[in-house]
Chain A
């Protein structure tokens, strides 16, 4: 057994203290023959510190495309030659999407907008949309609207948004290679305000942007320092027309190593499968990740791409005897 896994068994599984950056890097560098042991340990950590339940979430794009930012992975930037056009979702359709999500058994519904930060029109749409959802659907509402002012944070709390997603996307040292129109520090400032407001913090990123293994470890350590309630883990799905459109997808074993490593860095967080798992891991890898530290999934479609049918994920959870977290358990 590699020394790092012995250390993690004592420190992470036994004491609930996550690995530091050097420890994460050691896990990311484990040879293939030790990957099953790393996943098994990460699963034990998840079961001990989080329990067997899996949090299920659906997401929807309230405002698609036309974003002024240049996140190099994103097909919704208006600065690239992506085929994605700008479109707004009306409130009746938003409520219908929330109903579809709730019908899967999901307890979370995240409303997302492709913006630098919300303007008055978007905040008005949010206020009306969240109220309409709460009147019609029994589901927790989260939001992801880019960078916020303090007043906007307070407004979202007032609307009843219980969790805010704002991904750091990658580590601090690599961020300028991915985004040039705003800084990592600006994102961190929004996360600090969200934390101070009492909303739950959801913050993760995308693996496979061209970062090194060392930078992947740096990212895990920086997320652990933030200590978010939830970490969505995406794998790059290269989008036509974006600067990263020709990058290769993350190799499946590297993705699984990252899942185990991130779990061992953050034993208590909700670690969520997000975009890209279908092409990076496929069906078999999806199962391996759920048995290797993942304890939450986005079901159904993503913002501009399609996911596995929700029923496929729910059947897999049932087969693995992992109960879907009930709404009452999140309140």
Chain B
């Protein structure tokens, strides 16, 4: 497992330093949808307080 963020967690396209300002802005009001490490779509559960997102390869993250 790499720790490098290769993929945008909102749109699933390749992540670069400046390529996704729209996604970064939108992510303030959205949970992630794609795993940043492998681009898989994650299973996301939004709760009244917080969210969880699970990648079958890289595990769960919470916010």
Report if B19 contacts A (CB, 8 A). Answer: no
On B, residues with C-beta under 8 Å from A are 10-12, 28-31, 33-34, 41-51
Q: A85-B41, A85-B42, A240-B11 are in contact. Are A93 and B29 (CB under 8 A)?
A: no
A-B residue pairs, 6 tightest by C-beta: A83-B33, A300-B48, A58-B48, A100-B49, A87-B43, A306-B29
A306 touching B51 by the CB < 8 A rule? yes
Closest residue to A239 on the B side, CB-wise?
B30
Note all chain A residues with C-beta closer than 8 A to B45. 61, 64, 87, 89, 93
Whether A305 contacts B30 by the Cβ 8 Å rule is yes
Interface of A is mostly: loop
- A85-B41, A240-B11 as given contacts; A301 in contact with B47, CB under 8 Å: yes
| A260 smallest CB distance to B (angstroms) | 25
Task: State how many angstroms separate the Cβ of B41 from the closest Cβ of chain A.
Answer: 5
Question: Chain B: interface secondary structure?
Answer: loop
B42 contacts across to A, CB distance below 8 A: 85
> In the complex, how many angstroms separate the beta carbon of A82 from the nearest chain B beta carbon?
9
Q: Is the CB of A306 within 8 A of B33?
A: no
The answer for the CA separation of A303 and B12 in the assembled complex, in Å, is 21
Alpha-carbon separation in the docked complex, A58 to B10 (Å): 25
Whether A301 and B49, one on each chain, are in contact in the complex, defined by CB atoms closer than 8 angstroms, is yes
> Counting chain A CB atoms within 10 Å of each CB, which of B34, B41, B49, B50 scores highest?
B49
A84:B33 contact, CB within 8 angstroms: yes
Contacts of B29 in A (CB 8 A): 237, 278-279, 305-307
- Chain A residues within an 8 Å CB radius of B49: 100, 300-301, 310
